[in-house]
Amino acid sequence: MRPDRALSLSIFFTAVALALSLACHRPGTAAPVAQAALPLLDPMLPPYSGHPVSGEIASIGSDSMDPLIQLWADDFKGQNPAATFRIVSKGSATAPKALVAGESLMGQMSRPMSEGELSSFRAKFGYAPTQLVVAADALAIYVNAGNPLPRLQLDEVDAIFGKDRKAGYAKDIRSWGDLGLEGGDRGGELLAEGTPEHIARVESSFTGHFLGKSLAQPARR
């Protein structure tokens, strides 16, 4: 087994064991203590070699993490044939709700929990959830391959989606012509649906997360 794969599996097995311990907590007993800092694993940690387990492990949450968790589940079942997985991948926002409702042992998320989600978890269990970071992702804005525009700069993207141009672009961008192109449907009009404030209130929206930070900055004069 490759060292990087062993490390990934070790992280996953630790998450499963933690989830099982959280799920087995009962009122009147000492609750597991949430980690103040993210757990660190020795990169030379040997592959998992514990006793085989059985039963269902349910994980509900991020669709972008689905490929990873499916691979980890397959490896886990290779060492624990009696274990079964129920994986539901419909978005990060479904993870906290499923944990609080007792519908899953784990919740895969591609973003941190919001304050509201953390409060709901604490209110139900009496302690904070433990976060295990297993990967990092990146966001990108794509232009159709058939578009003659070679690229977009961040200040241009801000001038398309924003209204105050806090990134410093000289004017609002409302058509492809503003970016140096000509023609197109409806005179080349750019359609950016929803106000920045509305999108920023959608907790599951990555665009909203970006806009929320932008809106929090002082207005450009």
* pLDDT score of 123: 96
Could you tell me if residue 120 is inside a domain?
Answer: yes
Q: What's the pLDDT score for residue 45? A: 79
- Based on the fold, state whether residues 11 and 104 are members of the same structural domain: yes
Is position 149 within any domain? no
In angstroms, the Cα distances linking 215 to 114, 218, 221 are 18, 8, 14
Identity of the residue numbered 171: K
- Per the structure, how many domains does the chain have? 2
Is 93 inside any structural domain?
Answer: yes
Q: Any idea of the CA torsion for 27, 33, 38, 43, to the nearest 10 degrees?
A: -100
Q: Which of 125, 143, 176 is the last residue of a domain?
A: 125
Backbone angles phi, psi at 56, to 5 degrees: -95, 140
Question: Which of 77, 109, 125 is the last residue before a domain boundary?
Answer: 125
Give the model's pLDDT for residue 121: 95
Mean pLDDT per 10-residue run, the chain (221 residues)? 40 40 39 46 75 90 89 91 93 93 92 93 93 81 77 87 84 85 66 64 65 61 39
If asked whether residues 205 and 167 sit together in one domain, one would say: yes
Exposure string over 169-200, b if 16+ CB within 10 A, otherwise e? beeebeebebbeeeeeeeeeebeeeeebeebb
Is 158 contained in some domain? yes
Distance CA 43, CA 130 (A): 21
Q: How far is CA 124 from the centre of its chain?
A: 22
Domain stops at, among 125, 146, 169: 125
Residue 201, domain extent? 154-215
**CATH code, domain carrying 56:** 3.40.190.10
Q: Is residue 186 part of a domain?
A: yes
Are 41 and 83 members of one domain? yes
Whether residue 147 lies inside any domain: the answer is no
Q: Do 118 and 161 reside in the same domain of the chain?
A: no
19 and 58 both lie in a single domain: yes
Same domain, 35 and 87: yes
Check whether residue 17 and residue 112 sit in a common domain.
yes
List all residues 6 or more positions away from 93 whose beta carbon is below 8 Å from its beta carbon. Answer: 203, 204
